[in-house]
Amino acid sequence: MGQSSSSSGRRQSNSSSYPGQQRRAPPPPQQQQQQQQSRPPPRSSGVHPGTRATRQPGAYSTSGGRTPGQNGRRPDQQLYEVRIPAGVRGGQTFQVEINGNRVNVRCPDGMRSGQNLRISLPSQGNNNQPQRQAYMVTIPTGVSPGEQFRVMVNGQELMVTCPPNARPGTNVRIFPPEPAQNPSTPSGGAADRPQIQTFEVQVPAGVMPGQPFALIANGQRVLVTCPSTAGPGQRIRFQLPVGGGGGSGGTTQIQGVKLSYDKDGWTRCIDPSDQKFHWVLSQTDETTRRNSTESKEDDTKFDPLKYAIMRRINFNGNGRVPGQAEGNIMRHGVHMEVALATEVPSECIVERPKYGDHAAGGGNTGPLFTHADLARVHSGNFASKLEWFREACLKLRTPWEDEHSFIFVRRSHLMEDSVKSIMMLKTDQLRNMFRFEFIGEPGIDAGGVAREWFQLVSEQLFHPDFGLWQYSAVNQMCMQINANSGLANADHLLYFRFTGRVLGKALFDGQLVSAHMIRHLYKHLLGWPLMFEDIEMIDNEVYKSLLQMFEYQGDIEDLCLDFTVTEECMGETKVIELIDNGAEVDITNDNLKQFLEESLKYRVCERVKDQLRELLIGFYEVVPEALMLVFDFQEVELVMCGMPHIEMEDWLTHTEYMGAYETKKANHQVTSWFWEVVGEYDEELRARLLQFVTGTSGVPAQGFAYLQGNDGNIRKFCINSISVSSSLFPRAHTCFNRIDLPLYTSKQQLKDKLTLAVQMECTGFDID
């Protein structure tokens, strides 16, 4: 990469840049208008060094006149970010209030209301916060994982929970609660940071020693492990960070916590022992008591409604995505495995960026977002989540004056140049502001060139002819990873890493991509549990076959099956063993559970594990994984692909009816209510209804008349009647684009149940 000359502002090439490449770095958008006023008019002929005639494909990053050691601004200046008010146009002045002072701000030409603008003002003093003090303690003899033990730190007695997989003699790091603060403590001190609070709860009936249970503490769902020395009815204590700034001077208090279980389904909880999110299958008290008395023989039965797995990515060394930009593009030292959903914790901390004093404001040293922030945002509606996510990305973005990147590509070699440019950037440069340029074209990237680049690149990447992706066997509107992508492209893993970076950068910058992925891939992006029903969206025939095996009442050994699956590849049949020597292991009633579990792992992950690993790592190089926790998998599709344009008349015209609705069709009382309710929905709810019934928010370019089913044939949107006694809520059959709509007795009843069904299909955080 080249470096900027401090005297001329021109980029000087070195051994890693392109020969003869020399150009002046464009100023930040806020300064362009002022500089244009003093610029001489362009010449009508002649080529200056570094003009479009001499540019070569590639990418480089440069600073906007940053003085070394000053992070791009004077030490007595503070950077702020403000939003341009409604009605303000370029060149107009508006007022904002910062630190109690009214400031006049001029809207730069080319910017409009709703956009964010960075301004600098004299600093108000040093707001640096001291780091929280960490202490190492040794686990005493006789303490098992989940048990609590006492330690003394700075004269303060603390209760510490032994982490999982730890044993006596192991050193663990703890962060004691902050001492009481004087009311005169300045803002930005310890009083503003989360405090540690002790809670006390009674172990519920049916919970055995060492068994985790969920409860609500401080408005958050928390996963607590019952100590080995405790039992039902006994009271235990645990500690949890709570918001600072309030309370009673920072002293710990014991508060009663009401036990509250979820309905059946998966939900995320905070485990106080590691301060990470864990997936748990919620149970009622009755279910808990029943499970505690059930025989162990029941564990040999496969439960498609409760068994769930997750991918776990293990990075080398410090657990973060490495930041190389050369060599093997970071494939070494990173591997992915499949584990039970309950065994894979999710990071819930978003660290401050490298340029935190610019992007996040002030001199704060703590996390940018914690589990409390993520849980609070997740409980909001889609619009509030999206607004928060956009603001979070702005805080993580590298300011223009610190560093920005230019991407030069040839339209005739779009994919080749784009891969070369994006993959030569280091990880921390992926959050720079990008400026795209098609070499030889006069366009200036004020947003339009970037939109075109993301659209064109995503179209080519996901096109089946490119070999990386293929149409879903269930829904032709969705794309799934091609398991044989290596045959089409020897560098296919590099391209999947590139695809991950493109998807992550598009989401980070608020751009859209021209591809809808199959549902379980969005779950992988979010770190969601993958269940048996997810196979249906991948291959309906395989799903039905496995379901028949699960429901088989006889001796399954009579079917003469083994632990293998067959795959078609370039006209040849390959036999894949699901376990070691799987061809030699017959499926019996005793090991059927293992076969179904291994089949789930293979279909949703192992079959494309290498490609999936590269895709996820490339994505997380741009967007922190923890930041994605606020969305569900349906919302992520809407954010990445945009709200679909749904023509209600087209939808209504090309809908089929079954059962009691077949005769009167849209004129039946219930279907008439249905269309009235859908007509009252906003764009988000209509898109969610489409996702609920078809599996994706995408609409064919030709309209609803060309919706396809799992067999590739046209299967129009269909409404089928069922009785309310058979199901109180609507049911969806995504393979057939069909919704089973109960025969409701009122429009309000239909609206309540339908809205709840399309909004609550996803599970996630539980905040009571």
Burial of 35 (0-12, 13-18, 19+ CB in 10 A): exposed
Element containing residue 4 per DSSP (H, E): strand 3-4
Q: Judging by DSSP bridges, how do beta strands 479-481 and 469-471 pair with one another?
A: antiparallel
- Distance between CA 437 and CA 390 in Å, rounded? 24
Per-residue DSSP letter, 447: S
Q: Residue 463: how many CA atoms within 13 Å on its side-chain side?
A: 9
- Distance between CA 447 and CA 359 in Å, rounded? 21
Q: Is the CB of residue 221 less than 8 Å from the CB of residue 765?
A: yes
Structure tokens that stand for 432 in this block: 């720079």
Q: Which of 348, 393, 641, 735 is catalytic?
A: 735
- Distance between CA 232 and CA 207 in Å, rounded? 6
Q: Is the CB of residue 729 less than 8 Å from the CB of residue 756?
A: yes
Q: Is the CB of residue 84 less than 8 Å from the CB of residue 112?
A: yes
Neighbours of 613 (CB within 10 A): 23
- State CA 51 to chain mean position distance: 40
718 catalytic? Reply is no
- Distance between CA 534 and CA 206 in Å, rounded? 32
Phi first, then psi, for residue 733 (nearest 5°) are -125, 90
Phi first, then psi, for residue 713 (nearest 5°) are -85, 165
Q: Is the CB of residue 241 less than 8 Å from the CB of residue 196?
A: yes
- Distance between CA 421 and CA 398 in Å, rounded? 18
Structure tokens that stand for 274 in this block: 């590691």
Phi first, then psi, for residue 633 (nearest 5°) are -70, -25
Structure tokens that stand for 566 in this block: 């067959």
Active site residues: 735
